[in-house]
Chains A and B, each alone.
Chain A
Amino acid sequence: MNQPDKLEILKDILFTDDRAYAEKIAKRIEILEQNIEDSERLSAQVNPIVNKELKEFVENIPHTLGPTITETLKEEIKNHKDEVVDALYPVLGKMIKKYVAQEMKMLSESINNQLSKRFSAKGMSRRFRSWFGNVSEEELLLSEISSAKIEQVLLIEKDSGILKGSFSKRKTIDEDMISGMLTAIKSFVEDAFNQKNQNLELIEYELYQIHLQSFVTHYIAVVISGNYDLKSKNKVQDIIFNFYNSFMAMNLDLVFASSSIEISAEPVTRKKIEKELSKSFGNEQI
């Protein structure tokens, strides 16, 4: 064995581990090269990481970019009001147009409906009022359409806010809770202004008005839609006072016009109150 052979053997002995390690690295580089070159294998490796990062980024947008975006938008809107109006006009314009068209359609249907009844007693009466009152029939018709209507009547115990009876053309949300809340609002206002013997009389709620009339132990809340003018208000008050005199005074407040009237031994039931409310408010026009 010559010198170079001996050297080779010695190298084999000394570098066995290094060679194995180098082979292992070479194999791994080869696998990595294959992964990079094969797009499917690469995406299988990379996609989960990208997805995770993207998800985190999206989740953090409200915290990281949100305030900046809001501030920028505010600034942009402030500085370019005309452009914003131009941009929104087609959308809002369409919405408003659609709403107005819908309302006009409903009004037109209502007018047609009224005109179809022009030979009814009411129609004839309107014609006479138009002739003698120097007001066009159309004006009278429009005022009839937008006139106030009683939607709901609640008879409520004054202190507790307990509902004693109600009359309603269509069912709304829980009337017991409405009665409680009306009483709470009424109590709060009357208490806050610290005015004895003064009562909250009217609540305006968008298209509705709630007329409140207090008596000794109870009060009446009348929910009204439409044009609630002074004439309608007087009419509602008349109906309420008629109801009070004919029923409430004797049965609930125990106030009698004459001492000859005997107190009824029977307690007033909710059914009876509701029957009386329906009788008094059901067919009244205001």
Chain B
Amino acid sequence: MSKSKKIVVLGHFGVGKTSLIRRFVSNSFSDKYLVSIGVHITKKVVEISPTESLSFVIWDLEGTDEIDTIRDAYLLGTHGALFVFDVSRPSTFQNLKEDLKIVTAKMPKVPVLIIGNKIDLVVEKELKELLKEHNIDYNFLTSAKTGSTVDTAFLELAKELNV
């Protein structure tokens, strides 16, 4: 039986947190935008190697532009987190450093991966220049729509948690 880990997915409104999770868990995507209210929980077993796996219990938290308003109660006992921003909306990553400070203050010692989602909407070269210009450090650039790098991001988190 694989070990269970609580993963929270955070970020501003409409950055594609739910779509990212849906792509990872059920390999599907919908263009319809439905606002997440409260929290939605899903589960997926991640195979790290032929002999090792982790069971991710993923908490999809409702998006908020004020990261400090996220309920602390939802973050308790978190093992790993994904902070998602929308590469096509600079307002979701302009204050990334401040947002991450709040996140790490709320969840000290919890590994947080930074994901730039919706890369299908932008030209990658221009995006990289823009992120460099804003001095944005990220771990992965993904597209929930095409599935690009989504599994890789979650697998990376699983590897970090399995150390």
Query: Which A residues are within 8 Å of any B CB, using their own CB?
Result: 157-163, 174, 176-177, 179-181, 184, 187-188, 190-191, 270
Residues in A neighbouring B73, C-beta threshold 8 A: 187-188, 190-191
Q: Which residues on the B side are within 8 Å of A184 (C-beta)?
A: 38-39, 41, 59, 74
Alpha-carbon separation in the docked complex, A179 to B6 (Å): 11
B interface, CB within 8 angstroms of A:
1, 4-6, 38-39, 41-43, 55, 57, 59, 71-74, 76-79
A160 to B58, CA, bound (A): 11
Alpha-carbon distance between A181 and B4 when the two chains are bound, in angstroms = 15
Q: Which residues of A contact B59 (CB under 8 A)?
A: 161, 180, 184
Question: Which of A159, A160, A174 is the most central at the interface, judged by chain B CB atoms within 10 Å of its CB?
Answer: A160
Are A176 and B57 closer than 8 Å at their CB atoms? yes
Interface of A is mostly: helix
The reply to whether B71 and A162 form a contact with Cβ atoms under 8 Å apart is no
A270 touches B1 (CB 8 A): yes
Which residues from B are CB-within-8-Å of A188? 38-39, 71, 73-74
Q: Of B57, B72, B77, B79, which is within 8 A of A191 by CB?
A: B72
Which residue of chain B lies nearest to A160 when distances are taken between CB atoms in the complex?
B77
A-B CB contacts (within 8 Å), total count = 57
Q: Is B74's CB under 8 angstroms from A176's CB?
A: no
What residues on B are CB-neighbors of A174 within 8 Å? 43
Contacts of A190 in B (CB 8 A): 73
12 contacts between A and B (CB under 8 A): A161-B57, A161-B59, A162-B4, A163-B4, A176-B43, A177-B42, A179-B57, A180-B6, A184-B39, A187-B76, A188-B38, A188-B39
- Neighbour of B77 across the interface among A161, A176, A177, CB < 8 A: A161
A176 touches B4 (CB 8 A): yes
- Nearest chain A residue, comparing its CB with the CB of B4: A162
- Chain B's closest residue to A190 (CB) is B73
When distances are taken between beta carbons in the complex, the residues of chain A under 8 Å from B71 are: 187-188, 191
Ordered nearest first, which 10 A-B pairs have the shortest CB separation? A160-B77, A159-B77, A187-B73, A159-B76, A180-B41, A191-B73, A160-B6, A162-B4, A184-B39, A176-B43
- Residues of A close to B55: CB separation below 8 A: 176
Cβ of B4: which chain A residues have Cβ within 8 Å of it? 162-163, 176
| A270 / chain B contacts, CB cutoff of 8 Å | 1
Q: Which of A158, A159, A177 contacts B57 (CB 8 A)?
A: A177
Q: Are A161 and B6 in contact (CB under 8 A)?
A: yes
Docked-complex contact A177 and B72, CB < 8 angstroms: no
Query: A187 vs B39: C-alpha distance in the bound complex, in angstroms?
Result: 11
Q: A187 contacts which chain B residues (CB < 8 A)?
A: 71, 73-74, 76
What B residues does A177 contact at CB under 8 A? 41-43, 57
